[in-house]
Structure 1
């Protein structure tokens, strides 16, 4: 029996050693391609045509570079981690990182502090995410999809420091949220023009973009993203920025489209400053419980040092329009610096419309807004009917909403709200919910280059677009209207 146990222990030890095998580059300042690595360590990585297979962990040392500048696929074995201490550059038309077997994910990528990471035009799928410990990180025009919790547990792109550049990507249907930072990381990434849908498939109580405290001197910027929830998930919000450890928030959240999440945007914690401007925030009610969420915008602070300036937002069909809690505060329009021009429509629960609920004792300025879009122009009585404040509950702060204003609404605003593209994403088949008076449709790639133009006629509501995978902007032009929509081709 003793001999058998020793044999089993020895076998187990061999198994552990095999599972921990890795190849580390020599740290001599060399730029390596995958072909170079095949030659150096054929037991680690092999190649057949343009498909490479990694069967041991790979470590790029601090002075070395892994350069991928041609189209290829790297298939990675189950549980393996790629660690970068040096430089990692992916700059081809289409590079795919995926699992050998999609049912057996690899561990993911770990980018160590001081590493230099630039990823362009890549697909990253069926792994354990990107753990970003470096200050120098760019990912652009890439598809990040169907990843699981691995080396990165908080989200598929997990940030620790610096000002990461996350631009023009499609981030969809990962088990974890899309982008996050730690509660005490002080991170201010630039998150621009990404299509984000259906992340946090684990349905944990975290939003698709989940940021902690930020850098003081550089703002967190979340700009021009589309953030769509999976309505089967009742715990997943869209955007949260939270200062819970006595640090600070400096944020700009502008021009995003946010739909079908548990809630739209939330800012939590004192010592906070944020601009929230020109966002479309609609139908964020997937949990269906007004006691637990469902706000288009929600602000919550234990102290009175929160300053949020909101203008030009379109907030429709959430359980609440805007909720202000504890000692939080918001400027929704004044007579000096903030034009207001927020639009509210059909936000409510229990048969009652709630455009703004001031659940604090702080006074709020909220001038020049359209409080009930369906009944524009609004009277002061129309506004009063959808605002909860001192006039309703004596210990709440007063909301100053005079003057109200719906005159800034235009035909284009109505068209933009009413016209939908579906399915989106699509493989090429496209339907318009309506074609009001548009005469032409121009299609631009994400770099602003014109790809094609198409004449439209009344009834042209169905079409097939022969486009490569990627994100496109569709510009519809009529005699007096111009509407731009984002389209994702998969």
Structure 2
């Protein structure tokens, strides 16, 4: 008994040593009520509020969960450490605050705790949240009034790439979110609201990211409102050349900061798209900041595609320093899914001078297809600083300009939004008369149609695209452009009788008409010599043309509104492609196929065998005595080209078919 008591005493000492509680690491799950019972005063409860009086550690494999609303007050200078898992998921909110707001607690430290979740949780009057090698989820939380005693940010990352979304960061002493200069982190920072952070008024941005990890660092859809003169908006830096940072900075609203977005260092490749960078001028010292966008690197590996941003009211629009090399609009803008350019850069300046772009590098910079606050190219050129102002600087390419339009560029009724339609109906747009005519087949219900509308970039339109309207009378649509007066289009419907098109095949051999070929059209075999197909609904049709003594010819044709004639030249068959017997045909359908094929043949009946081979000659399937039209299961075949051989008697016919899923 004495020995057991001694062991228990040692265990209790290890768990409560130095005035802290460390969970035993046995894979157990705890609540705060459990900790009140187990922690010997480290966690207590008074008047429904939990008090953490000393350091608390949840060990590896253990879990602490919150599933109800509660308040936890932590003593000053104390830390909550999670080497296991912490799931805070109350229905409304869990509050972690200091027992005395004048003596903040040190905060949270998650260490290799990727299964942890913070949701609907308020963290205040602490040293913030530190993540080390942790890829956890943080969403719908509030971080406010946190200090820099323990961390430089409300959430500080070290080799961690968490998801941080739908949170509010309010009046924290340091940044809202930050990572170190020598660690790699690619958090997903999505749709958060950052308000008046960096209350210590030190030189740091509200989002302050170091080098990225393997994944893309995404900062998307955030609102970042500044107040303190030394606080910037967003910065991504790689000053030590650690790894390769890939970043997406998109659809953020960044305003009233010292600067908007800064990309500092080397080995950074980013897309900066769709952001509003407005009035980032509150320090009001153009020698210290004030750029809407700033790029600085000692090497030309600091690169960015910059597109669709609104940059207005800053001390500088875009500044490029050192050897950085962003692309703000190049002639190749139409290649691929990403296009640079189409930025609005206007009303930026200081000392009574407008500065749209300042290229303070030796590199030539592409900055075409942007709007500079004027439709006069000569005036716009005066807002750009480069080689023309200083021969040691690189040229700013301004060969092409863009002005925000006030047009409806496309108007259509699409079948995916209108079940009554079989094919899209495109509007005929007259920009001179401001009218849009849509021709609709007679009998189409027009009192409830949903249009898909594409206005000019940055323009707004009413009624909205996707809004169902009654088109039995002309409908006005008003375009409000980024600049300039509104324009109103009148959309009206014209009923038309639709005549479906006819497709005619001209089948030739050696340049001469070839009669009595058999056409398998849209999966159906027709009598030999049937070359005309009438009243085809719009769509794509597959066909296969065969005649004894000639190679088969297959293809597809798109039927639209007009009649169409296809000329097909058949080539003489080789021995492999010769018909089995006179008058025999063989069709494989569909081709390409997914999970099955059907084999149709005509001619003599009798015993037969069908074999399917890979393109390398391996036999994969064998089917004896196949009936005409019998379905063959090919769901086990991989995508690719195959040979089908039909054997009957001493004759063999081969067809190729493709599996494509």
* TM-score class normalised by the smaller sequence: 0.7 to 0.9
2:312 aligned with 1:313, yes or no?
A: no
Aligned to 2:370: 369
- Partner Cα separation in structure 1 for residue 480 and residue 352 of structure 2: 35
Match of 1:32 in 2: 30
Matches within 5 A, 1:348-367: 348-367=349-368
Residue 203 of structure 2: SS of its match in structure 1? coil
Counterpart of 2:58 in structure 1 is 60
1:389 counterpart (368, 386, 390): 386
Asked if the contact 2:123–2:142 (Cα under 8 Å) also holds between the matched residues in 1, the reply is: yes
User: Which residue is 1:447 aligned to?
Assistant: none
Aligned match of 2:255 in 252, 256, 259?
A: 259
CA distance in 1, matches of 2:107, 2:407: 48
> 1:190-205, aligned counterparts within 5 Å?
190-205=188-203
Judged with a 3 Å threshold, the aligned counterparts in structure 2 of structure 1 residues 365 and 21 are, in CA distance, closer, same or farther, namely: same
Q: Does 1:131 align with 2:127?
A: no
Deviation at 1:249, TM superposition (A): 1.9
Q: Say whether the 8 Å CA contact 1:183–1:245 is kept in structure 2.
A: yes
Deviation at 1:389, TM superposition (A): 1.1
Q: Indicate the residue corresponding to 1:105 in structure 2.
A: 104
- Size of the alignment, in residue pairs? 397
Contact 1:110 1:151 in 2 (8 A): no
Q: Distance in 2 between matches of 1:159 and 1:89?
A: 19
Question: Take 1:162 and 1:41, find their aligned partners in 2: how far apart are those partners?
Answer: 30
Change (3 A) 1:37 1:482: farther
Cα RMSD (Å) of the superposition? 2.3
Q: Is the 8 A contact 1:212 1:243 kept in 2?
A: yes
In the alignment, the residues of structure 2 paired with residue 482 and residue 311 of structure 1 have an alpha-carbon distance, to the nearest angstrom, of: 21
Q: Distance in 2 between matches of 1:173 and 1:74?
A: 21
- 1:288 corresponds in structure 2 to 284
Q: Secondary structure at the match of 1:381?
A: helix
Check whether the contact 1:85–1:113 (CA below 8 A) recurs between aligned residues.
Answer: yes
5 Å-filtered alignment, 1:460-471, equals none
Secondary structure in structure 2 of the residue aligned to 1:38? helix
2:183 pairs with 1:185:
yes
Residue pair 1:143, 1:169 contacting (<8 A) in 2 also: yes
Q: Is the 8 A contact 1:176 1:199 kept in 2?
A: yes
Within 5 Å, give how 1:63-142 maps onto structure 2.
Answer: 63-93=61-91, 94-114=93-113, 116-142=115-141
- Residue aligning to 1:220: 217
Q: Which runs of 5+ in 2 are unaligned?
A: 1-15, 334-338, 409-459, 465-475, 482-661
Return the TM-score normalized by structure 2. 0.58
Cα distance change of structure 1 residues 410 and 135 upon mapping to structure 2, 3 Å threshold: farther
Deviation at 1:336, TM superposition (A): 2.0
- The corresponding residue for 2:344 is 343
Q: Distance in 1 between matches of 2:274 and 2:376?
A: 23
Which of 1 and 2 has higher RCO (CA within 8 Å, sep 6+)?
1
Query: Residues 437 and 162 of structure 1: is their aligned pair in 2 closer, same or farther, counting only changes over 3 Å?
Result: closer
TM-score normalised to structure 1 length: 0.77
The structure 2 residue matched to 1:237, chosen from 220, 232, 235, is: 232
Q: Are the equivalent residues in 2 in contact too, given 1:25–1:60 (CA < 8 A)? A: yes
Contact 1:296/1:320 (CA < 8 Å) preserved in 2? Answer: yes
